[in-house]
Amino acid sequence: MTNDNLHELPLIAPAYLSVAGLTDYIRLLLEQDQQLRQVWVTGEVSSANHHRSGLFFTLQDPDGTAGIKCVAWNSQLAKLAQIPVPGEQLIILGSIRLYPQRGEYQLTVWQSLPAGAGLQALRYQQLRNRLLAEGLFNPARKRGLPTHPQTIAVVTSPTAAAWGDIQKTLKQRYPGLRVLFSPATVQGEQAPESIVRAIARVEQDGRAQVLILARGGGAVEELACFNDERVVRAVAICSIPVITGIGHQRDESLVDLVADVCVHTPTAAAEIVIPALSDLYLQHRRRVSALHVATVNTLKVAQNRLQQLKNRWRRLRLDRQVEQEVDRITWKRQQLLQVTMGRSERAKQHLELLQHKLTSLDPQAVLQRGYALVRRKNGAIARSPDDLAVGDELLIQLGQGEVKVEIREIKVDG
């Protein structure tokens, strides 16, 4: 061609590749790449199809902008931690393979793990299985709670409603009970170490006879500290019985499984750890009544037996045998009376002790001894001069009536 604006075309065609050659070249690039030989990919399973040779599925981004075909061969399926199911988020470990016949590449799967909450569930199950194999959940290792503990330790957050519920319940059921509070963080990353330290403080103190570990409910993810291995083992090796009241009925934590007693709420834990003083008094009265009935019935049986022996003596004229039986019955009667009197006296002393304790706890009795209760106009108890002002009206409750006064001067100690 002679036109200056045109270029002369070559007469020899450039080198070319066959489809197989091009595909093989791409396959070598993919399969020899070190990163693609063992790559982690996360995504959502959009479809899955079981074939006689394996499980074929598609993994795609949640927004659907990209996807990749995957295959898990039958020889590998049993080793997967999570079988791919449409709709689930997974973390896949695999290698890239290219198939020349279709000109497509896919991910050969070696492992499949649940992502997000599913991964947490897998870790929970793995830890649970390991602790179960160690025997930490064995019912035989659980200890019974003391019947009448004098000192109770509580591990929970000082700002949680659980602490207030426990205090209120224990005070109502058994006034005067000693309660040791060991504060702890029960939510967040710092919670496991905080709970472990709180339990250790209780053991070092050595006074508590039982420990309540409590939290006032919350979302499942907020209760992760009670599935922490450090907390579980701290409860397992605790030298005193532990009762949990975490406040979550739908899910059972690992701490619940290892504790000696598990209830669903902090209030229930406080109710089960100590009997109510009123219930103890009622039980005592019932025992006294039952003892009296048993004594009367035993006496009636003995009298009936004596009468039978008398009748037998009259029929058989066995004077000597009758005398021996009379002596034996008299001795047994005296023995029974001694035992009965002893038990009755001990029961009476215990009753008097309970009555004295109830009387000592009566606020009215305190007022009768000369003390007074000062209340503000709104009914609140006046505890400090800082809460009062000149001119305020106060109501003073005495043992025999009330007096209304007005503040004219306030003196502060120091």
For 289-311, write each residue's pLDDT tens digit: 889 899 999 999 999 998 888 88
* Backbone φ, ψ for residue 277 (5° rounding): -60, -35
CA dist., res. 350 & res. 284, Å (int) = 9
- The answer to whether residue 107 is domain-embedded is yes
State the Cα–Cα distance between residues 149 and 199, nearest whole angstrom.
18
- pLDDT given for residue 132 in this prediction: 93
CB 186 within 8 A of CB 157: yes
Are residue 71 and residue 58 in the same domain, yes or no?
Answer: yes
Judge whether 315 lies within some domain.
Answer: yes
Supply the pLDDT for residue 117. Answer: 58
What is the reported pTM?
0.48
Phi-psi category of 7—alpha, beta or left, where left has phi over 0 and alpha has psi -120 to 50? beta
* 167 in the same domain as 289: no
Write down the pLDDT at residue 317.
64
Q: What confidence tens digit (pLDDT) does each residue in 128-162 have?
A: 999 999 999 999 999 999 988 999 999 999 988 88
Indicate if 95 and 193 belong to the same structural domain.
no
Total domain count for the chain?
A: 4
- Whether residues 78 and 188 fall in one domain: no
356 and 387 part of one domain? no
Q: Residue 379: which domain range? A: 367-406
Residues of the chain with pLDDT under 50: 1-13
At 24 the pLDDT is: 76
- 249 and 205 inside one domain: yes
